[in-house]
Amino acid sequence: MFESVGKKMNFNNLFNNKKESNNYLLKGGMIIDPNEKVVKKKDILIKGKIISKINEEIVCKSDDYIKIDCNGLYICPGIVDMRVNLGEPGLEHKETIKSACKAAASGGITSMICMPNTSPVIDQPAIIQSIQRKAREVALTKVFCTGSLTRGTNGDEISELQLMFESGAVGFTDGNKSIANARIMRRALNYVKSFNGLIIQHAEEQELSKKGIANEGEVATRLGLTGIPSYAEAMIVQRDLWLVKDTKCRYHVSHISTKETVEIIRNAKKSGINITCDTAPPYFLLNELAIENYRTFSKLLPPLRTEDDRKEIIKGILDGTIDAIVSDHTPQDQDAKRLPFNQAEFGGVGLETLLPLTLSLVKNYDLDLISAISLITKNPSEILGLNVGSLKINNEADITVFDLDKPWKVKPEKFHSKSKNSPFDSLLVQGKNLMTFVRGRLVYNFK
By CB under 8 A, residue 231 contacts other proteins: no
Q: Name the minimum Å distance from CB 152 to other proteins.
A: 24
CA separation for the pair 115, 122 (Å, rounded): 8
Q: Are strands 275-279 and 324-325 parallel, antiparallel or unpaired?
A: parallel
Pick from 13, 154, 194, 221: which binds other proteins (CB under 8 A)? 221
Residue closer to other proteins by CB (options 295, 315) is 295
Report the alpha-carbon distance of residue 80 to residue 166 in Å, rounded. Answer: 21
Catalytic residue among 328, 335, 405, 425: 328
Are the C-beta atoms of residues 256 and 262 closer than 8 Å to each other? yes
Element (H, E) at 162: helix 161-166
In angstroms, give the least distance from the CB of 233 to other proteins. 16
Distance of alpha carbon 29 from alpha carbon 246, whole angstroms = 47
**Rounded distance, CA 58 to CA 78, Å?**
21
The window from 58-66, 177-185, 223-231, 349-357 that contacts other proteins (CB under 8 A) reads: 223-231
How many other β-carbons are positioned within 10 Å of the β-carbon of residue 149? 29
Among 105, 225, 235, 244, interactor with other proteins by CB under 8 A: 225
Roughly what angle, to the nearest 10 degrees, separates helices 307-318 and 259-270?
Answer: 30
- 294 vs 346 by CB, closer to other proteins: 294
Residue span binding other proteins (CB under 8 A) among the ranges 130-138, 281-289, 340-348, 367-375: 340-348
Cα–Cα separations (whole angstroms), residue 434 to 14, 108, 335, 377: 10, 8, 32, 17
Nearer to other proteins, 157 or 292 (CB): 292
Q: 169: burial class by Cβ within 10 Å (0-12, 13-18, 19+)?
A: buried
Least distance to other proteins from the beta carbon of 344, Å?
10
Total residues interacting with other proteins, rule: CB under 8 A: 22
* Distance of closest approach, residue 312 Cβ to other proteins, in angstroms: 19
Q: Which of 8, 19, 61, 222 binds other proteins (CB under 8 A)?
A: 222
The interface region with other proteins, picked from 97-105, 159-167, 196-204, 341-349 by CB under 8 A, is 341-349
- Ramachandran quadrant class, 212 (left: phi over 0; alpha: psi -120 to 50; beta: rest): beta
Could you give the string, one character per residue 404-433, with x where binding to other proteins holds by CB under 8 A and - elsewhere?
Answer: ------------------------------
The smaller minimum CB distance to other proteins, of residues 272 and 340, is found at: 340
Rounded to a whole number of angstroms, the minimum distance from the CB of residue 226 to other proteins is: 8
The number of C-alpha atoms within 13 Å of 129 and in the hemisphere containing its C-beta is 7
Please spell the DSSP secondary structure of 382-417, one letter per residue: HHHT-S-SS--TTSB--EEEEEEEEEEE--GGG-SS
For other proteins, the binding residues in 283-312 under the rule CB under 8 A are: 293-294
Find the binder of other proteins among 30, 180, 223, 386 (CB under 8 A): 223
List binders of other proteins among 175-214 (CB under 8 A).
Answer: 210-211
328 has catalytic annotation: yes
| Residue 227 sits in the site that holds other proteins (CB under 8 A) | yes
120 binds other proteins (CB under 8 A): no
Question: Exposed/middle/buried for 95, CB within 10 Å: 0-12, 13-18, 19+?
Answer: buried
- Which residue, 143 or 213, has its beta carbon nearer to other proteins? 213
State in angstroms the smallest separation of the CB of 335 from other proteins.
7
Cβ proximity to other proteins, 211 vs 270, nearer residue:
211
In three-state secondary structure terms, 197 is coil
**Three-class SS state of 262:** helix
Q: Nearer Cβ to other proteins, position 294 or 365?
A: 294
Using the rule CB under 8 A, which residue among 341, 415, 424, 444 binds other proteins?
341
For residues 168 and 384, give the distance between their C-alpha atoms in angstroms, rounded to a whole number. 12
Q: Which is nearer to other proteins, 49 or 295 (CB)?
A: 295
Cα separation of 360 and 358, whole Å? 5
Write out the residues near other proteins by the rule CB under 8 A.
210-211, 216-218, 220-225, 227, 229, 293-294, 335, 338-343
Active site residues: 328
